[in-house]
Amino acid sequence: MAEGSAEAGLFKVGDWTVEPAANRLFRPDKEVRVEPKVMRVLTYLVERRGEVVSRHDLEANVWTGMIVTDDAVTNTVIKLRKALGDNARDPQYIQTIAKTGYRLIGEISPVPRTADQISTAPAGTRPAQPSWSKILVVGILVLLGVLVFWLTATPPQPSQGRAEHVLTGKLMVAVLPFENLSGDPEQDYFSDGITEDLITDLSKIAGLRVVARNSVFAYKGSPETEQQIGAELHARYVVTGSVRRAEERLRINVRLTDAKDGSNRWAERYDRKISDIFHLQDEITQRVVSALQVELSSGDLERLVKDYATSVEAYDLFLRGLDHFGRRSVEDNALAKEYFERATAMEPGFARAYAGLALTYTANLVNGWGTTLEQSLASAEFLTKKAMQLDDALPQVHFVSGLVEMYRQNYAAALKEMAKAIELKPSYADAYALLGWILHFAGRPQEGLEAMQQAIDLNPRVPATYQLVEGALHYELEDISEAIRVLELGVENNPSYQLVRVFLAASYAAGERFEDASWQIAEILTLDPDFTLTDVERGAPIRDPVYKQRFLRDLQRAGLSD
């Protein structure tokens, strides 16, 4: 097929006939409807059949003008594989090239377009329901990566087959990404920042359950209605909005919808000076809480108190830093560090900017970017303490501090930090997940599973990081079949996720499935040829020596050498 022709009409991929205009694939016995982004990825791969297409190319050509992560790309490829009935381990259509991208290997041929083929299902078939992916895809190659990127990772599709465990007596609210109406995609960082701050503020209220950022940002630009999204996220109420920033003026539209019946609960438009941004955010939070008829306790009021000493200019630099940090590359991490440093230079008392700086050093620690592990850990610890001295009420600071303490194997201190983070932000899903991870290493797996359930309730589009923690906890409890089930989902949805493969290899060995275990080790060594058992021993802060030896022994039985 000629380049650029894939979207022009029908074509065949293997035994599937593809109709891009209708976002469908069909064959004599089956029809599958896919999302537009999934179809666009397929047509782009078809146009470059046999070539290795990088994730960057897919981002630039399928998500044009949008800021996305590898997770969004991988998650879309997963949906495409499921639609085609493909298998990442033994692919017939789409081959994953480790650390590089994807290649379409299926046979491609054009199909003459006839009237009876257009948007008509094969006789005797019913359109198949979408096969939703369950977990977020995260590209993390070392142990602590899973923890750092909980803060910014883009999530996957809602989990299925799990009973809802949302606490009774509390309203579940989802704040969807505010739309950027400035006409400049470069201003997305600002509308995203406004959204994140509103999520954070509402998450501090004990009487609410607020869906995590990871889950709601998956709906950025989605055509789905508030009712559909609310049902998928188990949220009774949905907050939507838009932001228009023009020179020194700011216009924000906000709407609160009852997702049960689609009715409008409250709506308001604000036209203010940009210098009023902090007070405006407070006002929006208060109006949403009032519309929900939630009574604020004295503790809620204390948690919502803010220090307005920060200038709008420093806040803008901070939001730019967060935007680059969320892209998770060595270049963007360096840019994030630069923006956070500029923010602290402009406002030496800006605690959130110091917390952002701490995160950039933790990313260095995770990825080995430029500094040694100890240097990165020391810098993250110093900046976290600095942020705490300025504002001890920042839940994110206690999250990072808990991560540092866990890595130093100070389990009691790490658990104390997570308790503080959750106290300050009762709907802090990632804090519950990190709590589960700390409890895993501290030798308290049953409590860890309880913490993970809280995390999943608040983050229903379950990230692969959560699947890793849940699988590791089941492995620690020697519930091997459940560990394998959960960890296989993680590997299926992110072939480049090294740590989940490590735990899956150990679980396979524990279950006497040595061929599968050996294959996982081979895949790990493809991702990182220098990875050894010694790396695992040094990197896993496991308290119980018996459990640690069992873990290492299973990996050795799987084929990982010193």
Nearest in space to 531 (alpha carbons), one of 561, 492, 504, 506? 561
Q: Which of 116-125, 126-135, 397-406, 533-542 has the highest mean pLDDT?
A: 397-406
Side by side, the strands of the sheet bearing 53-54 are 53-54, 101-104, 94-97
Q: Residue 17 is inside which H or E element, if any?
A: strand 16-19
Task: Give me the phi and psi of 449, to 5 degrees please.
Answer: -65, -35
Q: How far apart are CA 399 and CA 405, in angstroms?
A: 10
Residue 300 has a pLDDT of 66
Task: Give me the phi and psi of 97, to 5 degrees please.
Answer: -105, 110
Is there a contact between 322 and 196 (Cβ–Cβ < 8 Å)?
yes
Q: What tokens does 382 get?
A: 């110093």
Q: What tokens does 404 get?
A: 């540092």
Q: How far apart are CA 345 and CA 8, in angstroms?
A: 54
Confidence of residue 67 (pLDDT cuts 50, 70, 90): low
The DSSP 8-state label assigned to residue 296 in this structure reads P
Residue 328 has a pLDDT of 63
Q: How far apart are CA 43 and CA 38, in angstroms?
A: 9
**Mean pLDDT score across all residues of the chain:** 81
3-class DSSP state for residue 420? helix
Sign of the dihedral through C-alpha 364, 367, 370, 372: positive
Q: How far apart are CA 220 and CA 218, in angstroms?
A: 6
Q: How far apart are CA 416 and CA 350, in angstroms?
A: 24
The DSSP 8-state label assigned to residue 104 in this structure reads E
Per-residue pLDDT tens digits for 286-306: 888 888 887 766 676 666 666
3-class DSSP state for residue 179? strand
Secondary structure (DSSP) of 237-267:
EEEEEEEEEETTEEEEEEEEEETTTTEEEEE
Cα–Cα–Cα angle for 202, 454, 228, nearest 5°? Answer: 65
Q: How far apart are CA 203 and CA 214, in angstroms?
A: 14
How many CB atoms neighbour CB 292 within 10 A?
Answer: 19
Cα–Cα–Cα angle for 412, 415, 416, nearest 5°? Answer: 85
Q: How far apart are CA 464 and CA 505, in angstroms?
A: 16
Percentage of residues of the chain with pLDDT beyond 70: 81
Task: Give me the phi and psi of 129, to 5 degrees please.
Answer: -70, 150
Q: How far apart are CA 181 and CA 187, in angstroms?
A: 9
| Comparison of pLDDT for 307 and 204, the residue scoring more | 204
Q: How far apart are CA 37 and CA 34, in angstroms?
A: 8
**Lookup result for tokens 């091997």:** 480
> Is the pLDDT at 148 greater than 50, yes or no?
no
Q: How far apart are the first and last CA of the chain?
A: 49
Q: How far apart are CA 359 and CA 281, in angstroms?
A: 24
Residue 35 has a pLDDT of 80
Is there a contact between 16 and 2 (Cβ–Cβ < 8 Å)?
no
| Comparison of pLDDT for 358 and 527, the residue scoring more | 358
Is there a contact between 26 and 121 (Cβ–Cβ < 8 Å)?
yes
Domains of the chain: 11-128 (1.10.10.10), 145-156+393-558 (1.25.40.10), 171-305 (3.40.50.10610)
> Is the pLDDT at 375 greater than 90, yes or no?
no
| Comparison of pLDDT for 327 and 311, the residue scoring more | 311
What's the helix, strand, coil split of the chain in %, to 5? Answer: 55, 15, 35
Confidence of residue 3 (pLDDT cuts 50, 70, 90): very low
> Is the pLDDT at 139 greater than 60, yes or no?
no
Residue type, 237: Y
| Comparison of pLDDT for 286 and 539, the residue scoring more | 286
How many CB atoms neighbour CB 443 within 10 A?
Answer: 17
Angle of helix 395-407 relative to helix 411-424, nearest 10 degrees, comes to 170
Percentage of residues of the chain with pLDDT beyond 90: 36
Q: What residues contact 441, with CB distance under 8 A and at least 6 apart? A: 406, 409, 411, 540, 541, 542, 543
Residue 165 has a pLDDT of 40
Q: What does the longest C-alpha to C-alpha distance in the chain come to? A: 71
Per-residue pLDDT tens digits for 208-267: 899 988 889 888 888 889 999 999 999 999 999 999 988 788 899 999 999 999 999 999
